[in-house]
Structure formats: structure tokens, C-alpha cells
Amino acid sequence: MNPLLGVGAYLESEHVFFGISAPSVLNTKRYKEVNGIAVTATDRPNFYMTTGARLDLGTQIQFEPSLIYRFVSGAPNLVTAFANFNFNDQVTVGTGISNNNYIAGLILFTGLERLDIGYGYEMGQRGSSVALRSNSHELMIKYKLD
């Protein structure tokens, strides 16, 4: 069994937001046998802080800059900056860059009645000795309850 316990808080006004979270506050160890060899993995707590703003550029376009900071004991700190553009509260398109030499792009459809659907792609800059070799695809589906 690998329990997961998280905590967080999110404050939002009309034009700014701030959040802090720890999706997993437990320091758990997992054991698995691979070809007769016991393998151990440790899940360390992750801590996140985020902040951003929503700035009107006209009646139907908003610029949404944001920052995310991640801290994990024993790993480098990670800072990601995003620049998103929201069109008529229905489509958001954006890009981000991290201090681990990754760049990202995203698209999010929020104009559906109770459903948000999004896609993100993150890739490492190949010339960097810090960046990992693999890229990532992320899908997001959010259903809004009453």
C-alpha cells in the first residue's frame, strides 16, 4: 500500500491568484522485486507555490502570466514561468519555460458547458546537459460539479 495525503490552499480575486500545496506530504518507501533483486523507491514530499494575474488586453482577450515554484528535498528547485492568452473565456493558448531547460506549450478549451479539455507538451532543449532526454504529453479533462 502506498498512501497519498495532500494539503493546499488557493486564493483568487478578480485579477490575481496565489496558491500553495503539498500533493504528497508523506515520505514513503516502496519495495519491489525485479529479477530477484529488491528495489527501493522513496517518494519525497513535493511543495508547490504558484502566483499569477489576469490582465485585460481588450474586451475578449486576457493575458495571464504566472509562476510555479517546486521544492523537493534532494532535488534542484524548479521554477516555471507561463505566458497564456485567454480568448473570450473559451480558449487559452500559452507557453512556458523552466529553469531545467524545458519549454512547454498548451491549449485549453473552457467554453464547454461543464467540461474543460486541454493538451500540453513539454520538451527539453537538446543541447543542455541538465535537460532530460524525453518529452512529455499531458491531457487534461475537468468536469465541473454544481
In a domain, 21, yes or no: no
Weakly modelled stretches of the chain, pLDDT under 70 = 1-4, 26-34, 38-43, 126-133
In a domain, 113, yes or no: yes
- How many helices and strands, by DSSP H and E, does the chain display? 0, 12
**Residue 138 lies in domain:** 46-143
Q: pLDDT tens digit string along 4-30?
A: 678 999 999 999 999 999 887 766 665
In a domain, 9, yes or no: no
- Contact 81/95 with Cβ under 8 angstroms? no
Identify which of 140, 80, 135, 74 has the alpha carbon closest to the alpha carbon of residue 110. 140
